[in-house]
């Protein structure tokens, strides 16, 4: 996994992707996949992510994610 991440970071740098844009997209996708895995259960998704439920709820609203995908 570390090698895949290294290649991705290098590719993003080559393409001029800014850190803040990359961080937001990663966070959005990470939370969306946790919500899918937990079938929209925010508490369960929070446990998967190691975050507080309120943080996940706030991020869902911020990124306009659907709880059930």
Judge whether 46 and 40 are in contact, CB under 8 Å. Answer: no
pLDDT at 68 over 60: yes
Can you list the domains of the chain with their CATH numbers? 18-69 (1.10.10)
- Quick one: three-class SS letters along the chain? CHHHHHHHHHHHHHCCCCHHHHHHHHHHHHHHHHHHHCCCCHHHHHHHHCCCHHHHHHHHHHHCCCCCC
66: confidence class by pLDDT, cuts 50, 70, 90: confident
Q: Residue 56's pLDDT is what? A: 97
11-63 pLDDT, tens digit each: 999 999 999 999 999 999 999 999 999 999 999 999 999 999 999 999 999 99
């Amino acid at each position: 996994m570390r090698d895949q991440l290294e290649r991705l970071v290098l590719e993003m740098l080559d393409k001029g992707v800014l850190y803040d844009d990359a961080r937001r997209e990663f966070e959005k996708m990470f939370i969306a996949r946790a919500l899918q895995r937990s079938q929209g259960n925010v508490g369960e998704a929070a446990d998967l992510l190691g975050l507080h439920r309120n943080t996940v709820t706030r991020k869902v609203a911020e990124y306009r994610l659907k709880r059930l995908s």
